[in-house]
Structures are given as structure tokens and as C-alpha cells.
Amino acid sequence: MLQGLPVSPGIAVGRAVIVRFGGLPAFRRAVAPDEFDEEERRLRRASRLAAEEFRRHSGEAAGDIGMELAAILEAHGLIASDETYLNAVFDRIQRDHVNAEWALAEVTRELGQRFETADSDAMRERAADIQDVAREIARHLSGGDSLLPVELPRGSILVADEISPVDASRLDPRRVRALALERGGPTSHATIIARSFGLPAVVGIEGLCEAISPETPIVVDGDRGTVEPAPSKERLRRSLIRVREQREKTRRLRARTTRAATTRDGVRIVVRANLELAEEIAALDRFHAEGVGLFRSEFLYLRAAPGSPGVEEQREVYESLLAAAAPHPVVIRTYDLGGEKGIGPARGENPALGMRGLRYCLAHPELFDAQLDALCLASRKGPLSILLPMVTSRFEIEEARNALEKSARRAGLSQAPPLGIMVEVPSAALLAERLAPATDFFSIGTNDLAQYALAVDRANPDVAALYRPLHPAILRMLKSVADAGRAHQRPVAVCGELASDPIGIAVLVGLGIREVSVTPVAIAAVKDSLSGIDSTRVQSLVEKALGAAEASEVEKLMRGRP
């Protein structure tokens, strides 16, 4: 039994499909000895095509860009057809009975490690060269650009080292039953997507890809955080019973929570949905969401790459969201690019502290203006609000508002749609009272707020135990925003994962929050938790919790509520 972090609830039984996305992307398949020749043929063909491509580019570069690049590409071509390298890969196919993609990734990784620890810069550069070459061979092996085996078989469990948010968003939830990853954290974006798809997920198991045999049945338990690589027949039978029981429980809970949420003492709490993809629109109705509290629009951008989605393409998506949510409102967050979401940092940079969110948009006005134009045009069709991610200072809101007003004029609107800010950085939380006049509403992103306040990477399993959104320092920041909202009559919502935690939601109600948004599959459970909460009781508990020194004290205090 392998133990990891439980990050998305539920239990699943399925066949393991192993994929390495990090470094060199590859999936693992068991290969019988009578297939070795075929794998060698595929490898040699891919290496020939890659070498030809490098040589062709080298010839072109010599003509227009420069001799230096031409020489590098020429060298890449030589590596791609290097017999020692190819033989090492072929030996690996035979030794481990694995497919060419996997063997190529393994051999390349080992070579890369050897070069990376070398003393000379020239040798270290070779590590990057080999990666580039292997990537090109891998592309030809797969016959295209896709990293995943073309289509995952139905009933698969994806076992991977890590997965980027955009690759996670490309998974088909009808085919994949669960996710088990070596890396990732409780609120990393792949985890959030797993939850949106309702897929059980476990992360943070080192050596996972090696510990599991491809295509064998495994059990992933997203409640306990375990992965069972070789379950017995009896274990499989019991797990399947649990899967059925769970499905039934979820169905009953959903049937019980169709109406708007109120606390036990009758305080009305608005529960909206967080969506990442336009395909999730149907979930609004199915899970009885009161509109969309957060649409993570950057997935539109990332999935449209290369190039960005045009004004008309975006407008269509935003209008379809409004139509599906009517008569409820839709809050669309402008692109939160950067960070772990895909616009990669340079070597040595810290992506979480770099060109992320609003910073990126303000630095790329064509991109930002196109999105604002699409939002303004769509806003004619219904109650649409715009939300800015990663705000740290007031001047950023002012710059964004200027851009929005110009865009509203271009769209012929007499008034721009409401403009709100995400509070997900400590500076914005502590200064909420001074930011309030510049914003129309607040939406607190507890996922990042916890990351930045506690200096804990939300996607790193090594520090997951320190990732405590109920830390009293964060409670004080939440209070700062709630108070600022009340004092300036600015609505305050919470869209981070804390809202779907049973203790988290009690804390939020205690702080006076009356609107939250969560992943659609969590809506029923959140409404159910709310129905057990007494708002005056949690208010007095939160007052005490604000004086705590540790997250564990807060949890203990709040658990004591009747």
C-alpha cells in the first residue's frame, strides 16, 4: 500500500496508465519479447525523422539566422542518430520490457543527470541538448504532438509523475476514474481539476511510476490518500462495493440539497460554482449552483495555444456561461497566466512570484484588451462581473479600470461591468480597507493566500503538511477583508478551496461571509455543512480562534461547535 496525500475524495478501481509528463513526457506500456523488434523499428524510424528535421532546420538557419544556431542543430541531428544512444534505449526496452517512449525517457533522464552534475558548463549544456533531441524523437514516436497515449482506455487510472493544469484539463472524465501523482499538493491546479471532474486523487507518492505495473488493476483511495498497486481479488471486490455505495450517497445528498442554502438559524448563504472549462457548463444545473463565482478563463487561453483565443471566440464562451447561469450572475476572472499554469518562467526564476495574473495582463495590453472587449460585449447578455487575479497594489486596479473603461466605450456600453479583485496576496488582504474604494467587490482566493502568507508552495508535497489555510494568520487576513467589505459596502465572496472544507465554511460564516463558490461536485456537501451551522455560535468561536497561535488550535476550537 502506498501512502500519499488525499486531495480529492472518493475511491476508484481501474487499470493503471502510466505517464511521465515532467522532463521528457512519456507513457509506459508493457511490451512482450515478440514485440521488441517492432519497438526497435519505431525507435529507429523516429530517430531518423528527428535527425532529418534537425538537419533541415540547420540548413535553413545557416541561411537566415546564423551559423551558431546551425551548428547546434547539426549537433542535435548527430545525437539523434547516435548509435550508442539508440542502443542504450533499445537495451532498456529489452531489459525492462517497456515501450520505446518509456525507455527513451529513462535513458535520457539518466544521461541528463550525469551531465547536469558535471563540473563544466559545456557538459551541463549537453544535458539540455539531449533533452531537446529526445523530445523530438518522442514527438515522432507518438506521430504527433499529444503526450498522452492517443486516447486513454475507459476505466483508466492515470498514474503520473506530475501533470500540468492544461494537460489535466484535457483529460476525459468519462474515461479516467482517478489520478495518482508523484508531485502536486492539496490545492495545486491539477488537484482542483480532478475535483471539478469528481475524480478521486492522491498526490505526493515518490517513486510511484516505478512501483506500479502498467495496465494492471489498482485502487486509488482519495479519502485515505492511498494507492494499492496489487490489490487482492477480495480487496477489489470490497472496493467496488465502496464505489457503488459512494455513488448512491452522492445521489442522495444531491437530491437533498436542491434548494438555496441556509444555516441552521436561517441565514442565507449564496453558493456558486467555480468552473475551469466551458464543457462544465451543464454542471451548473446538475449541482444547483447559483451562477458562477469564478470562471478560470486562463484555461481558454492555454487550450487555444499556440495563439490566443480571439474576441469572438471568447465572447461566445462568456455568453454561453451567462445563458446557462441565468438568472444568476457570472463572475469571470481575467487570465491568471504564469505561476504553475503554463507561461513558463526562465531557469532560476520563481514562477509564483513572477509575471503572474494581472501583472502579465498589464504587461501585454493587446492580450488584455481583447479579453476585456469580449467581456464587455458579452455583458450585454446578462449580469457579468469581471475579477482581477493577483492584485497586490491599488495602482494595478486603477490601470485595469482604465483599460476596462476604454473597452466599454469601444463596445458602446454606457457603463462598464462591475470590476472586482481577488484577494490572494497578503498585501491586498491587509490593505483591503484602502483598496475597497477602488474595487466593486472582493473575492478571496484562499488557495494562493495560504501559499503566499505561509510561504508554502501549494503544489509541493514535501511541504504539504505546512499548508494550513486555517492558520490564525490567515484568519486575521480574512477578517481584514470581511471588515473592509462591510465598512465600504463592498460584497465579499470566497472562491478558494477553503469554502468546501467543513471547518473552513464554518469559519467563513463566523467571519460574516455570505457568499462562496466551490467546485460544482462539492456544492451539495457545502450546503449540507451549512445546514448544520449556527451563525451566532460560529461567530463567537471565530472570535476566539482569531486569538489562536496555531492552525491546530483553530481546528480544535471550531470542531467543538455543536
Active site residues: 189, 495
Nearer to ligand PEP, 319 or 448 (CB): 448
Residue 280 CA to residue 262 CA, distance in Å, equals 25
Nearer to ligand PEP, 297 or 308 (CB): 297
Give the total of residues touching Mg ion (CB under 5 A).
3
Which of these, 450, 439, 437, lies nearest to 501 by C-alpha position?
A: 450
Nearer to ligand PEP, 19 or 477 (CB): 477
Residue 372 CA to residue 362 CA, distance in Å, equals 12
Residue 397 CA to residue 385 CA, distance in Å, equals 15
Among 239, 447, 480, 535, binds ligand PEP (CB under 6 A): 447
Among 106, 298, 424, 534, binds Mg ion (CB under 5 A): 424
Provide the minimum distance between the beta carbon of 447 and Mg ion in the complex, in angstroms, as a whole number. 5
- Per-residue contact flags (x/-) with ligand PEP for residues 486 to 505, judged by CB under 6 A: ---------xx---------
Taking contact as CB under 6 A, which single stretch among the options 70-78, 212-220, 317-325, 441-449 is the one that binds ligand PEP? 441-449
How is 141-199 classified by DSSP, letter by letter?
Answer: HHTSS--S-SSPPTTEEEEES---HHHHHT--TTTEEEEEESS--TT-HHHHHHHHTT-
Among 382, 417, 445, 520, binds ligand PEP (CB under 6 A): 445
- Per-residue contact flags (x/-) with ligand PEP for residues 154 to 193, judged by CB under 6 A: --------------------------------------x-
Q: Is 221 in the site for Mg ion (CB under 5 A)?
A: no
Q: Is 457 in the site for Mg ion (CB under 5 A)?
A: no
Residue 31 CA to residue 558 CA, distance in Å, equals 54
Taking contact as CB under 5 A, which single stretch among the options 21-29, 114-122, 234-242, 438-446 is the one that binds Mg ion? 438-446
Helices (H) then strands (E): counts for the chain: 23, 18
- Per-residue contact flags (x/-) with ligand PEP for residues 287 to 326, judged by CB under 6 A: -------x-x------------------------------
Residue 371 CA to residue 82 CA, distance in Å, equals 47
Q: Is 542 in the site for ligand PEP (CB under 6 A)?
A: no
The DSSP letter of residue 81 is T
Nearer to ligand PEP, 20 or 296 (CB): 296
Q: Is 340 in the site for ligand PEP (CB under 6 A)?
A: no
Among 280, 396, 424, 534, binds ligand PEP (CB under 6 A): 424
Q: Is 336 in the site for ligand PEP (CB under 6 A)?
A: yes
Q: Is 534 in the site for Mg ion (CB under 5 A)?
A: no
- The letter for the amino acid at 442 is F
C-alpha angle 211-215-217 in degrees, rounded to nearest 5: 80
Q: Which residues pair with 492 in a beta bridge?
A: 442
Strands 26-28 and 5-8: unpaired
Name the closest residue to ligand PEP (Cβ). Answer: 445
Taking contact as CB under 5 A, which single stretch among the options 315-323, 326-334, 391-399, 418-426 is the one that binds Mg ion? 418-426
Provide the minimum distance between the beta carbon of 443 and ligand PEP in the complex, in angstroms, as a whole number. 8
Provide the minimum distance between the beta carbon of 559 and Mg ion in the complex, in angstroms, as a whole number. 27
Provide the minimum distance between the beta carbon of 181 and ligand PEP in the complex, in angstroms, as a whole number. 17
Q: Is 222 helix (H, G, I), strand (E, B) or coil?
A: coil
Nearer to ligand PEP, 10 or 496 (CB): 496
Taking contact as CB under 6 A, which single stretch among the options 84-92, 131-139, 342-350, 442-450 is the one that binds ligand PEP? 442-450
Among 298, 373, 448, 555, binds Mg ion (CB under 5 A): 448
Which of these, 149, 150, 162, lies nearest to 23 by C-alpha position?
A: 162
Buried b / exposed e along 301-321 (16+ C-beta atoms within 10 A) = bbeeeeebbebeebbebbbeb
When CB distances are held under 5 to 8 angstroms depending on the partner's kind, the choice from ligand PEP, Mg ion, none that residue 47 binds is none
The DSSP letter of residue 384 is E
Which of these, 519, 520, 479, lies nearest to 498 by C-alpha position?
A: 519
When CB distances are held under 5 to 8 angstroms depending on the partner's kind, the choice from ligand PEP, Mg ion, none that residue 446 binds is ligand PEP
Taking contact as CB under 5 A, which single stretch among the options 75-83, 399-407, 421-429, 430-438 is the one that binds Mg ion? 421-429
Determine contact, residues 261/533, Cβ cutoff 8 Å: no
Provide the minimum distance between the beta carbon of 336 and ligand PEP in the complex, in angstroms, as a whole number. 6
Provide the minimum distance between the beta carbon of 429 and Mg ion in the complex, in angstroms, as a whole number. 13
CA separation, residue 419 to residues 304, 375, 405, 416 (Å): 25, 11, 10, 8
For the chain, the distance separating the N- and C-terminal CA atoms, rounded to the nearest angstrom, is 36
Residue 176 CA to residue 196 CA, distance in Å, equals 13
CB atoms within 10 A of CB 110: 12
How many residues can be counted in the chain? 562
Nearer to Mg ion, 136 or 448 (CB): 448
Q: Which residues pair with 18 in a beta bridge?
A: 28, 159
Query: Which residues of the shown chain bind ligand PEP in the complex (CB under 6 A)?
Result: 192, 294, 296, 336, 424, 445-448, 495-496
Query: Which residues of the shown chain bind Mg ion in the complex (CB under 5 A)?
Result: 424, 445, 448
